[in-house]
Amino acid sequence: MKAVVYNGPRQVSVSNVPDARIEKPTDAVVRMTTTNICGSDLHMYEGRTNFETGRVFGHENLGQVIEVGAGVDRIKKGDWVCLPFNIGCGFCENCERGLTGYCLTCNPGTAGAAYGFAGMGPFQGGQAEALRVPYADFNCLSLPKDAQEKEDDYVMLSDIFPTGWHSTELAGVLPGETVAVYGAGPVGLMAAHSAIIKGASRVFVVDMHDDRLKLAELLGAIPVDMRRCDPVEEILGQTDGLGTDRGCECVGYQCCDRHGREVNNFTMNSLVATTKATGGIGVIGVFLPQDPGASDALAKQGKMAFDFGALWSKGQRIATGEANVKAYNRRLRDLIHVGKAKPSCIISHRLGLDQAPDAYKHFDARDEGWTKVVLKPAA
Ligand SMILES: NC(=O)c1ccc[n+]([C@@H]2O[C@H](COP(=O)([O-])OP(=O)(O)OC[C@H]3O[C@@H](n4cnc5c(N)ncnc54)[C@H](O)[C@@H]3O)[C@@H](O)[C@H]2O)c1
Ligand SMILES: [Zn+2]
Ligand SMILES: [Zn+2]
C-alpha cells in the first residue's frame, strides 16, 4: 500500500510499504479515508525528535473498517470509525482510570502509545491507504449515520478537538470565566472553540499569523497579534491588570519570541504573567525531556528558566500532558452530530496522499493560508 514515509529531516515521500494487516485477534484494519497532518508531525518532520527513518506518519485517522480479527466483538466490517491518536489496551491501571494517553501495556517501558509517533511504540501511522488498529473494540469510536457527510468534523476527534478541550479541562475553565490561549495553530483554535462552547465570557488567542488569528476571531475569540503588541501587556490591559482566570499553552517547546526566534520559556512565563492569582494553567503544547536541536544549553536538556517564584506567589495551578482522547471523544462527537461544534472550520486544504510532501513543506513553514491539512488517501 502507499503511505507517507519519513526519510530524514524535512524529507518525506509517498512510498510503497507492507500492507496493514491483522497481527493479533483483537486488531482491526481500517481503510483510511481522511487523515490529517498535525503540528506534532512537524516536530518529527523537522528532525527534532528521535523518529526513525522509514516510519509512516499519521495519528489523526478516520476511515471504514475492512477487516476484524477473530477476537473483535463490537466493531464490524463496514463501520465508520475515528481512532484516538493514543492507543490504549483498556485493561491497565491507567486505561481503567480513563488515562488512555498513558497506557502501560501498549508500549512496554513507557506510559503511552500512538500511531506514527516518536517514542510511542512501533505502530505505523495512518497517512496511508490502510491502518492496523490494536484493541479495536476499545479504541474505535463508532460514528453515526452522518459519518461521511461530517467526515471532516469527525476526524478532528482523533486529536486536536479533544486535545484543545483537554487544555481547558487542565486549566479548569468554568462558564463565565476569561481565558488566554497561546497558539492559534489547530490545537489552540480548538482550545478556543472548546472554551467558548463551555461558556467562557472572553477568550484571548495569541499568535503571529494573520490567517490563524482570523480563524480565532471567526470562532468568537479576541485575537492578540504578538507582532504588533506585547501579548502580556495587552491581556493585562484588557483585564484590569488582573489577568485571565485560565490560561492554555498550545504551542510547545518550539515557541517563539516576538521576533520569531525560538525561546522555549516564552509561552510558559507569559502564562504565569497573564493568569490571575489562584488561576489555572493547562499545558498541552509538547515539551520534550531532551531537545538536542535547540540553540541554548538549558533547552538542549529539556529545561527552561521558569518564573516559578511568580507562579508560587500567585498560587497558580499548573497541569500538563498528553490528551486522554477517549475521555472526551464520545461527547464531543455528539456535539458535532447535533451541530453544536464545527471543528472542520479551520481546514484550509483537502489533498490526495500524493500531495503530502508538498503539504508538509507549506504547513511546516506556517505559510499564509495553510491552517490545517487533511489528506484523502481513498480519493
Ligand atoms: N498534549 C497533546 O496530547 C497534544 C496533542 C496534539 C498536539 N500537541 C501539541 O500541541 C502544540 C500545537 O499543535 P498545533 O498542531 O496547533 O501546532 P502548530 O505548530 O500548527 O501551531 C503552533 C502555533 O503557535 C504559534 N506560536 C509560536 N510561538 C508562540 C508564542 N510565543 N505565543 C503564541 N503563539 C505562538 C505559531 O505561530 C503557530 O501558529 C504542538 O506542540 C503539538 O505537538 C499536543
Ligand atoms: Zn495530532
Ligand atoms: Zn492500557
Average pLDDT in the chain: 97
Establish whether residue 184 lines the binding site of ligand 1, counting it when its CB lies within 6 angstroms of any ligand atom. yes
Average pLDDT over residues 106-113: 96
3-state secondary structure of 331: helix
Residues facing residue 15 across a β-bridge:
3
**Per-residue model confidence as pLDDT tens digits over 82-107:** 999 999 999 999 999 999 999 999 99
3-state secondary structure of 255: coil
Answer yes or no: CATH 3.90.180.10 is held by domain 2-159+324-375: yes
- The ranges assigned to domains in the chain are 2-159+324-375, 160-320
Q: Check residue 60 and report its DSSP letter.
A: S
Ligand nearest to the CA of 42: 1
Instruction: Give residue 178 CA to ligand 3 midpoint distance, Å.
Output: 35
Instruction: Give residue 187 CA to ligand 3 midpoint distance, Å.
Output: 25
CB 61 within 8 A of CB 35: yes
Give the atom of ligand 1 at the shortest distance from the alpha carbon of 207: 34
Ligand nearest to the CA of 112: 3
Establish whether residue 40 lines the binding site of ligand 1, counting it when its CB lies within 6 angstroms of any ligand atom. yes
Phi and psi (nearest 5°) for 244?
A: -90, 160
Q: Which CATH superfamily is domain 160-320 in?
A: NAD(P)-binding Rossmann-like Domain (3.40.50.720)
Instruction: Give residue 365 CA to ligand 1 midpoint distance, Å.
Output: 13
Residue partners of 339: CB distance under 8 A and separation at least 6: none
At residue 173 the predicted structure's pLDDT band, cuts being 50, 70 and 90, is very high
Q: Which of 277, 364, 366, 271 is nearest to 319 (CA)?
A: 271
CA distance 69 to 83: 17
CA distance 227 to 368: 15
**Per-residue model confidence as pLDDT tens digits over 266-292:** 999 999 999 999 999 999 999 999 999
Instruction: Give residue 156 CA to ligand 3 midpoint distance, Å.
Output: 23
The dihedral region occupied by 199, where left means phi > 0, alpha psi between -120 and 50, and beta the remainder, is left
**All 3 cell numbers of residue 87?**
492507543
Establish whether residue 188 lines the binding site of ligand 1, counting it when its CB lies within 6 angstroms of any ligand atom. yes
**Per-residue model confidence as pLDDT tens digits over 53-86:** 999 999 999 999 999 999 999 999 999 999 999 9
Give the atom of ligand 1 at the shortest distance from the alpha carbon of 189: 16
pTM: 0.98
Q: Check residue 65 and report its DSSP letter.
A: E
Provide the pairing of β-strand 202-207 with 178-182: parallel
CB 180 within 8 A of CB 244: yes
In this predicted structure, what is the pLDDT of residue 139?
Answer: 98
pLDDT at 379 over 90: no
Establish whether residue 179 lines the binding site of ligand 1, counting it when its CB lies within 6 angstroms of any ligand atom. no
Establish whether residue 212 lines the binding site of ligand 1, counting it when its CB lies within 6 angstroms of any ligand atom. yes
Establish whether residue 183 lines the binding site of ligand 1, counting it when its CB lies within 6 angstroms of any ligand atom. yes
